[in-house]
């Protein structure tokens, strides 16, 4: 089997998946609210595609985490010439370089009784053994940011500036979807349509899963783009579908979901109705059996997910769940089967 085509499709999916996090964050606004235009720290967002990281937040975090003194002096004890002279009556005497106190470093200040100090090189411990006051934040070597727990790496300022979904999961999912579609479709011209629509479908599933909302700027253009691109594919040789069936399936599936919406508005959102138009178009390309298979698979996936939530007691029988991801997953499963058997 030639794996060049699936590999190229996977690279395409990974590249487009890396551009989805910012759009997923901006579209993940609760129902009735405007799309997000700023990060959680109210810094304005520029553009819709790219990583979900705020450069201004990263700069601010980096400034707060930076040391207050030059790094080359932070861990060095003062030389003998720079060693501070203890105030009279403190009971502390500087250790001599010629005759250091037992256990003390040459440049440390040792207590007059000769005991080994437990303080840092530049700190003075009180003679009476009491706990010293909090260190001066402006003293050399003192950092305002606490160190990371033992065995753990402190997150970078850029990592702390994240405000949306991570890049790697979206890139991996999109790459796998595109590779599977390439394996099932082969070199037929409709593969180009599936590769263009796949990142949008992943974005829609992500947004609906996060806030149970399917944005109109994505659902309706998806249906229009599917029909338009399939019309072009129908003009090319070696295609394996029918455009009129795709059009009819889009109308029929959209009407069926509209009826479900009228019967149970609480269980079926109107966004699912508009999404069904696009899913009906891609399923109808391979015929009515594929439409029935993809529709059934979507309801099956949703029922299995809801049942699992009930079993683990994370939802009740009347708990609303986002159905868009399962509608898309069912269409994806039907599309794979339809492409293999076409």
pLDDT for residue 246 is more than 80: yes
φ, ψ for residue 215, nearest 5 deg: -65, 135
Lowest-confidence segment of 48-62, 101-115, 291-305 by average pLDDT? 101-115
Greatest Cα-to-Cα distance within the chain, rounded to the nearest angstrom: 98
Per-residue pLDDT of 50-62, as tens digits, reads 988 887 787 765 5
- ∠ CA 287-223-190, nearest 5°, is 50
Residue 324 predicted with pLDDT over 90:
yes
Confidence tier at 320 by pLDDT (50, 70, 90): confident
| DSSP category for residue 287 | -
The answer to whether 282 and 310 are in contact (CB under 8 A) is: no
SS3 162: strand
Distance CA 342, CA 335 (A): 10
- Mean pLDDT for 86-110 is 46
Percent of the chain with pLDDT over 70: 70
Residue 243 has pLDDT above 70, yes or no: yes
Higher pLDDT, 112 or 187: 187
77 phi, psi to nearest 5 deg: -75, 150
DSSP 29: P
Higher pLDDT, 166 or 116: 166
Specify the DSSP class assigned to residue 71: G
Across 20-41, average pLDDT: 91
Reported for 108-116, long-range contacts at CB under 8 A and 24+ positions apart, including other chains, are 108/77, 109/83, 109/84
For residue 63, name the pLDDT band (cuts at 50, 70, 90).
Answer: low
Q: With bands split at pLDDT 50, 70 and 90, how would you rate the model's confidence at 321?
A: confident
Name the residue with higher pLDDT: 34 or 147.
34
Note the pLDDT of residue 159.
52
Query: For residues 205 and 332, is the Cβ–Cβ distance under 8 A?
Result: no
pLDDT digit string (tens) for 184-196? 999 999 999 999 9
Residue with tokens 């790094």: 71
Strands (DSSP E) found in the chain: 92-94, 109-111
pLDDT recorded at residue 298: 96
> What crossing angle do the helices spanning 270-284 and 324-341 adopt, rounded to 10°?
10
How far is Cα 118 from Cα 134, in angstroms, rounded to an integer? 15
pLDDT score at 96: 41
CA-CA distance, 138 to 40, in Å (whole number)?
Answer: 31
Q: What is the mean pLDDT of residues 105-131?
A: 48
């Amino acid at each position: 089997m030639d794996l060049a085509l699936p590999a190229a499709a996977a690279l395409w999916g990974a590249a487009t998946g890396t551009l989805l996090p910012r759009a997923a964050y901006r579209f993940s606004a609760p129902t009735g609210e405007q799309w997000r235009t700023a990060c959680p720290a109210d810094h304005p967002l520029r553009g819709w595609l790219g990583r979900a990281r705020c450069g201004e937040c990263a700069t601010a975090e980096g400034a707060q985490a930076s040391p207050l003194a030059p790094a080359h002096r932070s861990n060095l004890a003062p030389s003998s010439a720079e060693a501070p002279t203890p105030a009279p009556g403190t009971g502390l005497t500087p250790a001599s370089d010629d005759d250091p106190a037992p256990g003390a470093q040459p440049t440390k200040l040792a207590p007059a009784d000769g005991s080994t100090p437990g303080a840092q090189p530049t700190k003075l411990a009180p003679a009476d053994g009491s706990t010293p006051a909090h260190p001066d934040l402006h003293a050399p070597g003192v950092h305002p940011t606490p160190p990371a727990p033992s065995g753990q790496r402190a997150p970078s300022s850029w990592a702390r500036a994240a405000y949306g979904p991570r890049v790697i999961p979206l890139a991996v999912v999109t790459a796998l979807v595109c590779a599977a579609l390439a394996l099932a479709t082969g070199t037929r011209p409709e593969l180009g349509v599936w590769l263009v629509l796949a990142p949008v479908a992943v974005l829609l599933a992500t947004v609906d899963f996060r806030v149970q909302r399917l944005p109109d700027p994505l659902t309706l253009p998806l249906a229009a783009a599917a029909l338009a691109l399939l019309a072009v594919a129908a003009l090319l040789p070696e295609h394996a579908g029918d455009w009129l069936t795709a059009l009819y399936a889009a109308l029929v599936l959209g009407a069926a979901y509209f009826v479900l919406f009228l019967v149970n508005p609480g269980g079926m959102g109107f966004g699912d109705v508009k999404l069904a138009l696009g899913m009906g178009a891609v399923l109808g390309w391979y015929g009515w059996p594929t439409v029935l298979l993809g529709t059934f698979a979507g309801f099956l996936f949703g029922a299995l997910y809801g049942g699992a939530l009930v079993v683990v007691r994370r939802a009740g029988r009347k708990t609303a769940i986002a159905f868009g991801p399962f509608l898309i997953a069912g269409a994806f499963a039907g599309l794979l089967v339809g492409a293999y058997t076409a």
